[in-house]
């Protein structure tokens, strides 16, 4: 009799060859040695780290990665038998082989991703989840076929940049920022030039409209002034001439003007003779 513990399977070998696999915990029977032997196989979940791996990205830069793999031997007789043959039922040997597979998978998978999709300050640009999914797809079938091991989870533990890659990354980020700044400056200058051109055009249009409106108002004013002058002349020609002479004097003579002119010449005649129609009347003789 033998006991099958929880979290393990027992392989019954007959003369060294696997005869049957016991998966249900509890008591079971087997033939006595040397006919049959019992080999316990651990089915519990294990984790293995790849260690630091220097790998290359799609854009030719080097990064240092470390990934982990959570694995276990599935409760399946065929896979358990494969694990016995490939790893000789030694979890440490299986872990060593898994590390080799993970290192190769990291190199292959990283070559399909640019550094900006693995290291970036913008979360929308990161593709770490896709990288881990691809890494898991690459490892799962290989480990199952080679060692009978099922991959439960794969993830990145560490991702750093060597000094050379860090310098190159900083230089590239600086160049990208300079390019972006130049593009935005050019776009701003273009918008500023367009705004200035529109403002100058609008100013020209406003000045032209204002000039046209001023000319129209001036023409109307001149026409109205001519009408008023005409009406005034028809009403009293002599008074009109006098007022026009005074207007002319008002435009010609100011506080700093000194003129020596004949007083009997226009428009000074109005100052001497007075308004037309005012003639000196003889004084009446007094009554005696």
Residues 98-144 have pLDDT tens digits of 999 999 999 999 999 998 898 888 889 999 999 999 999 999 999 99
Enumerate the domain spans of the chain: 1-42, 44-162, 163-233, 235-252+262-271
CATH topology for 44-162 is Tetrahydropterin Synthase; Chain A (3.30.479)
Mean pLDDT of the chain: 84
Percent of the chain whose pLDDT exceeds 90: 41
Task: Report how far apart, in Å, the C-alpha atoms of 243 and of each of 8, 105, 246, 250, 264 are.
Answer: 130, 111, 5, 10, 17
Confidence tier at 267 by pLDDT (50, 70, 90)? low
Digit-coded pLDDT (tens) for 61-92: 888 999 999 999 999 999 998 998 888 889 99
Say if CB 26 and CB 4 are below 8 A apart. yes
Residue 130 has a pLDDT of: 94
Of 1-10, 91-100, 269-278, which one has max mean pLDDT? 91-100
């Amino acid at each position: 009799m033998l006991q099958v513990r929880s979290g393990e399977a027992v392989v019954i070998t007959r003369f060294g060859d696997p005869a049957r696999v016991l998966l249900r915990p509890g008591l079971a029977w087997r033939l006595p040695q040397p006919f049959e032997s019992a080999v316990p196989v651990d089915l519990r979940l294990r984790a293995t780290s790849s260690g630091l791996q220097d790998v290359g990205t799609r854009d030719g830069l080097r990064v240092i990665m470390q990934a982990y793999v959570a694995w276990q031997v599935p409760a399946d007789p065929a896979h358990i038998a494969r694990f016995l043959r490939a790893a000789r039922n030694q979890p440490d040997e299986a872990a060593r082989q898994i590390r080799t597979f993970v290192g190769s998978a990291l190199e292959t998978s990283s070559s399909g991703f640019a550094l900006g999709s693995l290291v970036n300050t913008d979360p929308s640009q990161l593709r770490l989840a896709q990288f881990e999914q691809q890494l898991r797809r690459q490892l799962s079938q290989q480990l199952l076929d080679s060692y009978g091991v099922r991959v439960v989870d794969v993830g990145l533990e560490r991702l750093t940049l060597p000094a050379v890659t860090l310098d190159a990354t900083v230089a590239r980020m600086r160049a990208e920022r300079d390019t972006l700044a130049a593009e935005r400056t050019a776009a701003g200058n273009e918008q500023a030039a367009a705004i200035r051109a529109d403002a100058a055009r609008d100013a020209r249009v406003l000045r032209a409209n204002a000039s046209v409106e001023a000319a129209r108002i001036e023409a109307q004013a001149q026409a109205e002034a001519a009408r008023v002058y005409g009406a005034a002349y028809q009403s009293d020609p002599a008074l009109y001439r006098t007022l026009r002479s005074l207007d002319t004097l008002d435009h010609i003579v100011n506080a700093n003007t000194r003129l020596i002119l004949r007083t009997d010449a226009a428009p000074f005649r109005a100052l001497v003779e007075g308004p037309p129609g005012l003639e000196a009347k003889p004084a009446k003789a007094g009554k005696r």
